[in-house]
């Protein structure tokens, strides 16, 4: 597991609980806590702790059977120099990230094309509302958590099966997708509909969307996002409004707001700017999203 923040830590703990031999690349107090007492997950139903092998030096861990990359997208440039030490001849690398991925045709050239390559790459989407409660401890908000993996081009993926099997054994749903790009858009619609607005409110989703006018703004963004996805060849309209409105009832801050409040680099470019660039290239009007992203940019980076 390359990166063991909230999402990476949760996945690592589930995989270890499911019987996988898990190595984790982490740093700082989080790393120290995992080395001392393992990795703990707290959910609404239970609390469990698993031992993991952890290091801040990927080279010390050596080649792995599979690598899951869960760092935020601003960290991918540095990761490109470190991931190769984890690779054996046939090691797949699953990038479980938010937003338009580095391997998408609309994304600019990235060092990962050379360092990892498309041949090894799996796309990934995770649905899990969680935070780092304290070093070594991940708090998960809901019982509905799942990881989706698939090849970067449409079709089945045999390489995803062992990862997802261990995850299922650890108590988390694992789904093999035949069209991971569609799943990326499904997740991105949620990010678009709640992220910019929560960056303006500086509050959790339940608080932010308690006003009907704010919920209607989120639905307007959602519809614009559906139009961008459709222009890319992905009809993800089924259940979209219900799914978005269900997510905004959580007393949870979107990860991008957590990053802004902690002073960390954010995924603003891949979550918001990249979809807008695709919209402009495809001729899709996005007036509400344009406005909210512009205001969120000012609110987040000029304080």
Catalytic residue among 72, 187, 238, 253: 187
* Secondary structure in 3-state letters for 176-195: ECCCHHHHHHHHHHHHHHHH
| Buried/exposed code over 13-40 (b: 16+ C-beta within 10 A; e: otherwise) | bbbbbbebebbbbbeeebbebbbeebbb
- Scored b (16 or more CB within 10 A) or e, 87-107 reads beeebbbbbbbbbbbbbbeeb
187 is an active site residue: yes
Structure tokens at 90: 């046939």
Q: How far apart are CA 56 and CA 60, in angstroms?
A: 8
301 CB neighbour count, 10 Å cutoff? 11
The catalytic residues are 187
């Amino acid at each position: 597991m390359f990166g063991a923040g909230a999402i990476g830590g949760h996945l690592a703990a589930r995989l270890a609980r499911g019987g996988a031999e898990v190595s984790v690349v982490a740093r700082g107090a989080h790393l120290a806590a995992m080395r001392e007492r393992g990795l703990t997950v707290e959910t609404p139903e239970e609390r469990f702790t698993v031992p993991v092998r952890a290091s801040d030096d990927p080279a010390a861990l050596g080649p792995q059977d599979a690598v899951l990359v869960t760092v935020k997208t601003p960290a991918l440039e540095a990761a490109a120099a470190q991931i190769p030490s984890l690779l054996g001849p046939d090691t797949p690398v699953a990038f479980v990230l938010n937003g338009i991925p580095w391997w998408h045709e609309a994304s600019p050239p990235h060092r990962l094309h050379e360092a990892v390559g498309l041949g090894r790459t799996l796309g990934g989407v995770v649905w899990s509302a969680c935070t780092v409660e304290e070093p070594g401890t991940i708090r998960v908000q809901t019982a509905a958590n799942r990881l989706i993996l698939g090849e970067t081009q449409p079709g089945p993926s045999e390489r995803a099966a062992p990862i997802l099997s261990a995850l299922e054994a650890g108590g988390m749903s694992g789904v093999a997708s035949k069209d991971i790009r569609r799943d990326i858009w499904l997740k991105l619609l949620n990010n678009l509909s709640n992220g910019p607005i929560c960056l303006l409110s500086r509050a959790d989703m339940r608080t932010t969307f308690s006003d009907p006018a704010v919920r209607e703004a989120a639905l307007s963004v959602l519809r614009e996002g559906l139009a961008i996805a459709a222009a890319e060849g992905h009809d993800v309209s089924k259940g979209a409004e219900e799914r978005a409105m269900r997510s905004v009832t959580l007393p949870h801050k979107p990860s991008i707001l957590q990053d802004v409040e902690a002073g960390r680099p954010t995924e603003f470019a891949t979550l918001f700017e990249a979809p807008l660039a695709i919209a402009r290239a495809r001729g899709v009007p996005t007036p509400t999203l344009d406005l909210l992203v512009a205001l969120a940019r000012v609110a987040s980076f000029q304080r």
